[in-house]
Amino acid sequence: MNAKQIKVENKQLIITWMDDSSWQFSLELLRNECPCAGCKGETILLHTYAPTEKKLSDLSYKIAGIQPVGGYAIAIQWKDGHDTGIYSWDYLQKLIAR
């Protein structure tokens, strides 16, 4: 699954695929649903770690950069410095289905 184009426009992230279909996400949704352990928590060896409390600002909802991660995901760097979320295509597809 390869994206043809990824762009930010009007507070939306738009991913256009090779077949010209596209997915659109609000930047607010993507930031609030960041899949990293710091935002969602994690379980290691049956011990669950709660996510840290987020203190979000206007910069938290603005993208500083987007990097591909292999052929399966993108990493989003937010203008508030947060950059540990890796958004897989599968995860993004689940966000669309909500």
| Strand positions, DSSP E, the chain | 3-9, 12-17, 22-26, 42-44, 47-49, 63-69, 73-78, 86-88
Domain residue limits, the chain: 27-97
Query: What fold does the segment set 27-97 form as a domain?
Result: NE0471 N-terminal domain-like (3.30.2020)
75 within 8 A of 82, measured Cβ to Cβ: no
Alpha-carbon distance 57 to 7, whole Å?
22
pLDDT in tens, 60-97: 999 999 999 999 999 999 999 999 999 999 999 999 98
Alpha-carbon distance 93 to 40, whole Å?
18
pLDDT in tens, 14-69: 999 999 999 999 999 999 999 999 999 988 888 888 877 878 999 999 999 999 99
Identify the pLDDT of residue 42. Answer: 86
95 within 8 A of 29, measured Cβ to Cβ: yes
Identify the pLDDT of residue 92. Answer: 97
0.85 exceeded by the pTM? yes
